[in-house]
């Protein structure tokens, strides 16, 4: 098979898969979730084709390792802009831009906090869990609307060489603390407004960490240490079989990849051990930076290139579906 033909396989597969998944949503649900369907009858099908084409375009651009980092960040920022634009329109009174017509707090922590407080799952929680099963930690590098903000601020400086101190302890303390506070609020039957204000304060504190601490470290400190969803992703990612490893036979220990990792996952010890740290999100930016081609994806016995293409197929497809469905 010639390269010219091969490079179109991944985009076409993404287009077909996204069309299939969103088509099921369009046909099966009586209350339209596809946004354009809420304004124009059968407009949902137009949006589905547009989103699927966009997903195929991203797959075409990102299948080359040298391009993937740039297009990942660009698509991530587009996702965040679309998400918050819909939120803003909802705040202005256009309820059709909200998932259920009711406003919910747009903080990643609420994916965990909402179900614990209410005692029932939400659609965002279900969508989040589905990404962990399908693509491991891709939520934290392609889909989280707070994560892209944290990433933008962290880029003001190259990542500091030293690992973040006591990171695991901080992460687990934050996760346990958030769950404990939510359970206490539920047990005391604190009213919804007060609970929402507390959650809002948590979100504002996280944004302040992104604005003031992430630029100093050159690392995504909100995602690494503050966000409990990030911790859940880090340690539940092993339900997914995708892995990333470092070929120590070809690795020159130049540490260039470390300067491209905002997740504190490629410190010296990680590189010497032959695998990124627990906070790795499989974003693949390090693959683009490695001149020796030593950083590779693994999926069971599949070869690294096929593993990478399969991972991008699932991740980009999930991204496109979330772009169409991910609203407050």
pLDDT score recorded for residue 206: 94
Judge contact between 328 and 104, C-beta under 8 A: yes
242-289 pLDDT, tens per residue?
Answer: 999 999 999 999 989 998 999 999 999 999 999 999 999 999 999 988
pLDDT score recorded for residue 1: 53
What band does 114 get if pLDDT is binned at 50, 70 and 90? confident
Report pTM.
Answer: 0.91
What band does 327 get if pLDDT is binned at 50, 70 and 90? low
How far apart are alpha carbons 224 and 208 in whole angstroms? 14
pLDDT score recorded for residue 211: 96
Give the list of residues 6+ apart from residue 202 with CB closer than 8 angstroms, or none: 107, 109, 178
Structure tokens at 253: 């220990």
Q: 3-state DSSP: the chain helix, strand, coil percent, rounded to 5?
A: 65, 5, 30
Phi/psi at 14 (5° precision): -65, -45
How far apart are alpha carbons 158 and 191 in whole angstroms? 44
Residue 187 has pLDDT above 70, yes or no: yes
b/e map 65-75, b = 16+ CB within 10 Å: beebbebbbeb
How far apart are alpha carbons 243 and 133 in whole angstroms? 13
How far apart are alpha carbons 234 and 171 in whole angstroms? 10
Residue 318 has pLDDT above 60, yes or no: yes
């Amino acid at each position: 098979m010639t390269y010219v033909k091969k490079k179109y396989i991944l985009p076409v597969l993404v287009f077909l898969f996204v069309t299939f998944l969103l088509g099921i949503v369009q046909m099966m649900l009586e209350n339209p979730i596809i946004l354009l369907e809420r304004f124009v009858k059968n407009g949902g099908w137009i949006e589905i084709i547009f989103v699927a084409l966009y997903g195929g375009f991203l797959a075409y651009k990102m299948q080359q390792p040298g391009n993937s980092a740039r297009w990942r960040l660009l698509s991530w920022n587009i996702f965040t802009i679309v998400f918050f634009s819909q939120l803003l329109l909802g705040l202005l009174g256009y309820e059709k831009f909200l998932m259920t017509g009711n406003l919910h707090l747009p903080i990643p922590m609420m994916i965990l906090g909402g179900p614990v407080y209410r005692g029932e799952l939400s659609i965002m929680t279900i969508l989040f869990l589905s990404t962990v099963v399908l693509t491991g930690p891709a939520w934290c590098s392609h889909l989280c609307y707070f994560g892209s903000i944290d990433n933008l601020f962290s880029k003001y400086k190259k990542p500091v060489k030293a690992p973040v101190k006591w990171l695991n302890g901080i992460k687990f303390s934050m996760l346990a603390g958030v769950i404990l506070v939510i359970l206490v609020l539920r047990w005391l039957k604190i009213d919804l407004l007060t609970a929402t204000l507390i959650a809002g304060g948590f979100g504002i504190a996280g944004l302040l960490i992104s604005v003031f601490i992430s630029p100093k470290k050159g690392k995504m400190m909100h995602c690494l240490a503050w966000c409990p969803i990030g911790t859940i992703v880090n340690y539940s990612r092993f339900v997914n079989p995708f892995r990333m490893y470092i070929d120590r036979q070809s690795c020159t220990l130049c540490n260039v990849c470390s300067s491209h990792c905002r997740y504190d996952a490629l410190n010296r010890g990680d590189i010497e051990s032959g695998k990124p740290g627990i906070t790795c999100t499989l974003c693949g930016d390090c693959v683009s930076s490695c001149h020796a081609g030593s950083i590779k994806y693994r999926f069971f016995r599949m070869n690294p290139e096929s593993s990478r293409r399969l991972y991008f197929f699932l991740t980009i497809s999930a991204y496109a579906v979330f772009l169409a469905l991910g609203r407050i």
